[in-house]
Structure 1
Amino acid sequence: MLKYFSIVQALSRSALAMPNEAVTHQIRRLKESLEKDGFTKEAKSLEALLTASESSLEMSPSKIQRSFVVLKGEEITPKTSIPVDKETSTPLAEIFFPDDLPEKAPMFDGNIQLAIHSIVNEWSKFDQLLEINATPASSCLIYGAPGTGKTHLAKWIAKQIGLPVVLARLEGLMSSYLGTTSRNIGNLFTFANRYKCILLLDEFDAIAKLRNDPQEVGEVKRVVNTLLQSLDSRHEKGFTIGVTNHESLLDPAIWRRFDIQVEIPKPSPEVMIQLLKNFITPLEFNESEIKFLAWCLDGSSGADAEMLSKWLKRAFVLERESNIVEVMKQFAVLNSGRVDTKKRNVMVHSDEDFINMLLNDKVYSFKQKDLASLFGMTPSTLSKQLSKFKDSEKI
């Protein structure tokens, strides 16, 4: 059964999206059986799904909305005036109301999902925490490689909490006029502190650079200090989320201003397989083909998976008889930054080396019969080719 655990895991995740007592009971039974038989990793994976599901049930919109009655601040409406850069009249932010935010949760491994649900769960129990003189975390920094779904995640968290998002891309706050950048930051935070909202600071590293960088003097130091003071002013007035692709550029003092720091990794093989299944709809591929696509994108981002899916849709519309291996060879050549260099070189130069690399992969565990189908051969033909290849290596 463990051979197909990724399918079991996906089925469990889907079932727990709208769980009932029977579903939860059976998945818990499966988890306990796996645990008993020594499959600890698989059992923990199901436990994470169960825990995340239980957290979701506790986070009904009505409970979260009631919690925010205790927050001070005005309601943002479509008629609310957004602050602008006084030099250029450019808006400093965009407003996204809950109905504009993504319904679907981004797909991550179990531990990340569990951590994310715990953030939202704190806000669902806002009033209960106040009763014991505590408050939820008021800020969260989400960081990781580009294309891993960080901004989507931030918006989804806001959707669960049920508040509008004030989205500011920090690059857009910067100005060549002396003092204007600091003024823009101050005006943005004054606006966010006035209303019940989530402040989402995207491209966060645009300003928050290391203050001891010899290239950065004067104005940038003042800007960073303004940002630090503004983050302090927002404490307990609302939830602030920072998003960055370059966490190494952040000043240590900036890091300390965030109660929670979540690193979003590139998709694991299991998550990549699920992302591809979602993105390629309505195209249909069998499990071996999906696994092959995931292998080709191993180490890439979720955005890369979406790009590949669009590529496949175009390829299979234009050439309905396309072979998936040939399509991926073209993809590797024309999207060199999305495919590992070593894999790409083997893919485009030698089918024998390509097949051997797939067979020797310990993560995806391809079988000869699966590869024969992918490469358009019979299993016996593939076996003969591999034998000839091994014989030539001995000479």
Structure 2
Amino acid sequence: MPMPVRSVWRPAVAAAALILVTTLVACGGGGGGGGDTRSGVEFSALAASTTRFDVPEGGSTPDIALSAQISGNLAELDGKTLYVRIDDGLGLFEPAARIDYNASTRQASVALTGRQQTLTGLRSGRLGVRVCLDVACQNALTPPGYGIDMSVNVRAGLRTTPSELLVRVPFGTLPPTSLVRVVVPEGRTPSEFSAGIVAGADGTAFDLSRDLTPGSEGIRVAPRLLPVGRYQSRLEVVATSADTGFGAQSYVQESSLVLEVEPSDVDFAVLPSVLDFTVDYGTQRLQPFTVGAVAQTGSFRLDPVVYDHGEEPPGTAYPLRGAWLRTAGEAWSVVVCEGTSCLPRGVHRATLPFVRLTAAGFPTGQVVEVPVTLTVR
């Protein structure tokens, strides 16, 4: 009559190994006690639902089932406990499993749960399986080397460097732009990522832009011209792995952004510090622009009215000679043509001097000059 099998499992008691305890109860037939029973029981070649895995870093290998046919006189194992030990040197599966036995087909199967993979690269090895009559496997029913070959390819995930970006400048110096390098998950094109300031973090001190220059893809971080102080934020980069059939993996990497502005002998600074325009002959005027100002400490206002024109190409005539740079409130504009008179082709230069004013409107001692260049083609 069919032989029922009662089975339970427990976590591994040794590294990279699973111990499954199975108690066999046979009907009729009697069955010897101790001794080596390998000659009476045999296991067919081990089969697996899959033996090759391709997973993204941080993803898990899929769950699989191992199976084998048991033949011979199973009555010899009547009432004995079988120990199934699985040696998983590749670390593919969790240290827990479920064993089943179909008495009518004499097929035993073991269900294994995939484990998260963090070690990138291609690895291969043998998943060893031993069926024994004792927990130490001194009395084995399976032959030496019994098991099945397996391999796993763990594709690299998202990488960002550096993890902390620190920029330190004296006040009045425009901080340099830095690159946070982004390497997308294996299988994706270099442009397949998004970035921004982490939700809730202060993003007012940094301007971000994507740089897709081949070989140096990443995020350009441009700190702003700010008063003396320490400014901190966090950059978040997000990407998703390619889906090879086992599901895509989402990745998030963060980099700390720190700007330290130290005191200096500069009273205030303006931005941009240089203005350079290029226009075609006959253009009427350019869009208005503004010049911002930042003080080391405190608030102030600038005198935006006084300006000097310098070099003018021959042929520059009234009403534009010495007057092509104009102000309207806090905005400035470049006038190239007025009526029938246009600036001639060539390079035109001017200087915008800014003076810090007190609350009462009196100028302080420092003057900051912004050179302006206009090229008419």
State the TM-score bracket (shorter-chain normalisation).
under 0.3
Structure with the larger RCO, 1 or 2 (CA within 8 Å, 6+ apart): 1
TM-score, structure 1 as length reference: 0.20
Greater helix fraction, Structure 1 or Structure 2: 1
Q: Structure 2 length as normaliser, TM-score? A: 0.21
